[in-house]
A and B are shown apart, each in its own frame.
Chain A
Amino acid sequence: MNREQSLVNETLEMVGDRAEAQVLADVGTTALTRFANSFIHQNVSEDIEQVSLTVAVDGKVANSTTTATTPDALRRFVEAILDTTSNQPIDEDWAGMGGPTEVVAVDHWDVDTAEADPIVRAEAVKAFVDAGEGLLGAGYCQTESRGHAYGNTAGRRVHGRFTTAVVDGIHQTPTSAGSGHAAGVALSGIDAGAVGALAAQRARDSVGALDTKPGEYRVVLSPECIATIAVFLNVYGFNGKMAEEGMSFVDLGEQQFDEAFDLLDSPTNPASLYLPFDVEGTPKRHLDLVKAGVTTSLLHTRRTARKAGTESTGHAAQGAEAWGPFAWNMFVGGGGNSVDELIAGVDRGIYVSTFNYCRVLDPKSLVVTGLTRNGTFMIENGEITHPVTNMRFTQSFVDALAPGTIEGVGDDARFADSEFGSTFIHSPSMQLGGWNFTGGAEG
């Protein structure tokens, strides 16, 4: 029995039969080496040992989390949360706890990444920096290894482990910047020099950017941009809580997207990261959210599923009761076009490397404003002709992918850095028929 399983059992024993209870224990290490101006300026490592406990006493529900995990500290922690419930009203939406279950046997784990030391991360940073000779590099290399165990008083026990590795950064000239990103289960699977070389190339190609008149343009969007679109669909659209409250655009069974658009969540894909169960111990499975443009499913926790009269899909996230479910293993379906072919299909349009600072103006129509960053280029007669300065857009992400809008899907799908995180969206480039740029660099 590993440490996280011991913590689960110890905590449940302390609760005894005084409450329904579920425990999630999280044990591991996260380390991140950060660089700017081509040197390492911040370099951190954290040992993590954390216990989260939910108790329900006669329908009165409370959650608590602690990093103090000695037996005495855990005992005080358990007594405090049980005491909290006594002054609470009943939670009418409490969905109870699931009984014994099995999870898919996946192990997204790499032992070398789990044991990566700061020298290994520093060498990855050096490779990224060296790939941009004469430029200023900035970014990070992160490795993490975690074990999660879940247990509850209804007899459910699941556990798993994962590693992740990320190399992400930019290179800069005095007037431009370009970005590169790679993520996976193993640091050894990432060529940090190649990531740095892409960032350097984009930075050099962006020198001499010209202002461009705002308006609607055809676009070729990088995997990073598509990942950001996907994560907004995730949070504001496929979120079962938003749907239940009438806040989501999702209309199940309808052709809401172009038939070239597929979106799914799968912990069992060999490329996936993270765990095959959620913080409620619910097993995850392959879940199509959009298939050939038809919206097919919502994401659910036990709470949202109870309200919707269905089963949880295993998408409860830590501390996310207020927001609702969230998908951690999302894949946007890839296509057969090279990026050059996508660009070749555009008479006049814009290539975007990265979106920046995207925020929702209205969640239901999913109108979002944001900016381009780290490499924006004019496409004319099927070729990139010159860099352009960063532009602001105000665009419905749902309308951008509506039937008839996707003109090409790239064959370059990979983990891409989204607005809300760098390791949970796997996406390709796309060519879209229209994108509404509402401002240039000077407003």
Chain B
Amino acid sequence: MFDEAGLAVQSALDAGAVYADARGVISRSETINVRNQNLDQMDRTEAVGVGVRALIGSSWGFAATADLTNDSIRAAGERAAAIALASGIVPGPRMEFADVPVVEDSWETPYEEDPFEVATSEKVDMLVNVTKTMQGVDGVAIATGTLTFYDTNKWFVSSQGHRIHQHIVESGGGYDATAIGEHETQRRSYPQSFGQYETGGFETVRAWDYEGNAQRIGEQAVALLTADEMEERETYLILEASQLALQIHESVGHAIELDRILGWEAAFAGTSHLELPKLHSHRYGSDLMNITADATLPGALGTFGYDDEGTAAQPVDIVKNGTWVGVLSGRDSAAVAGLSPGGMVRADGYNRLPMVRMTNVGLLPGSGTLEDIISDTDDGVYMSTNRSWSIDDKRLNFQFGTEIAWEVRNGKLGRMLKNPTYTGITPQFWGSLDRLTGETEWVHWGTPNCGKGQPIQVAHTGHSASPARFANVRVGVKA
């Protein structure tokens, strides 16, 4: 596909572009859903095409086609240039484009078992078995399991001379049990809500011991129907790591996207409470808060070799000892802000415009264990596994619900609590981080469903986290 991408770039240049790049992409996915031991869905997709981006003056144009004939690819390049010219009707300031090394390279996700070569029957049986185990618990009404795999080959060519091929393999899945009461439903999920996804092959799924946790998940879903409601109050909040990963995603990951900070996402996703003049001085959280955006973490979902502008994957400090020090950026946004591009621009397929996306935005671990934190807490709540999430357009005011919680009394877990929620304001919340567990409980959680952009794009992002405690958090918000 280097030839097709190169032809698109040349066509855009011939039509007047001062810069152009293109990606030829062959991507495929497989999704298997089992519901109550029945194969509910066996879906495969493949998308093959070329997307080309052209810059004329201060304006961009982008066009995509799945028709790989030379005529169609040339037309796409010309259309990208024509769209860029039309963008000039409502022009912006002069467009800068930060320099990055021009690279010819290839990169591949390390993996052991190609998930597309694992027998369909083995994958289906795995999900049938866990749903059978969960359904074996009296009171479980719905038991579902999902596996999804992605295999993406992309060839990137730019008018500056980049030629990069990447092969990215992603695997994951999970399952949940739902119990239904007269006026409520209760759900428990494993390994986390919407499943756990990583870069790698089928070996990443095997590592999660699906069968070994199914009975517990079913029992907890049923037990929640008769559990006590969480009362509304301010207290110590201990977060299980996958919930903390989503907290990082929503209240840090999106807030540090430079396109949001610059106002480029204002109408849809929103902006950010962060202001560039306060970079290196804004207090984001407590001294325990150290956040990095690291696209090189082995196995994490947001790991790759190069972003979709040809910038090499790299680790970037975001928050250091509680102070905001970095952003997620691309070549154009970094230039506007006077920063170095961080290699964080990706597109959801050949037919989407590359844009700033999270890589692996994670909280570096502290020390000790979850057991230590619970032992040291006289009065608080421990909340696990996301159920709902909502945050405002500046990434300040949030409310999360989790599937399950337990009260913590005198250093021990107590009653199970249902319908747990907590709410807060981003800097105050992160400022109240007072305990953070160590590397033994640090997991590269993956979020496979991050929506952003118009037309909407779905990104796969990683968020490393270990359990942590926050002081004086408002919990138990009710309708």
Contact = CB atoms under 8 A, between A and B. Distances in A.
A115 B388 CA distance: 42
A344 B305 CA distance: 60
A43 B392 contact: no
**Which label, helix, strand, loop or mixed, suits the secondary structure of the A interface?**
strand
Given A129-B90, A365-B184, A371-B392, A319 B43 contact: yes
B43 A45 contact: no
Contacts of A35: 90
Contact of A88 (B63, B66, B121): B121
Nearest to B93: A39
A38 B264 CA distance: 10
Interface-central residue, B47, B262, B390, by most chain A CB under 10 Å: B390
B43 A87 contact: no
Contacts of B479: 361, 365, 367, 394-396, 399, 436, 438
Interface-central residue, A121, A394, A399, by most chain B CB under 10 Å: A394
B474 interface: yes
Nearest to A442: B425
B388 A246 contact: no
A175 B387 CA distance: 33
A192 to B, nearest CB: 12
A63 interface: yes
B219 to A, nearest CB: 19
Contact of A369 (B60, B144, B388): B388
Interface stretch (A76-84, A102-110, A289-297): A76-84
Contacts of A441: 396-397
Contacts of A395: 479
A63 B454 contact: no
B397 A390 contact: yes
Contacts of A38: 90
Given A361-B479, A394-B477, A394-B479, A64 B41 contact: no
**Which label, helix, strand, loop or mixed, suits the secondary structure of the B interface?**
mixed
A140 B454 contact: yes
Contacts of B90: 35, 38-40, 122, 125-126, 129
B89 A81 contact: no
A164 interface: no
Contacts of A140: 267-268, 454
Nearest to A356: B393
Interface stretch (B6-14, B80-88, B204-212): B80-88
Interface of A: 30, 32-50, 61-69, 73, 77, 80-81, 84-85, 87-89, 91-93, 117-119, 121-123, 125-126, 129, 136, 138-140, 142, 168-170, 172, 177, 179, 245-247, 319, 321-322, 356-365, 367, 369-371, 373, 390, 392, 394-396, 399, 436, 438-439, 441-443
9 contacts: A39-B58, A46-B351, A47-B72, A64-B45, A126-B89, A169-B267, A245-B142, A438-B479, A439-B477
Interface of B: 33, 38-49, 58-67, 72, 76, 79, 82-93, 119-121, 124, 128, 141-142, 144, 146, 178, 180, 183-185, 262-268, 270, 351-353, 355, 387-393, 396-397, 399, 401, 419, 421, 423-425, 428, 453-455, 474, 477-479
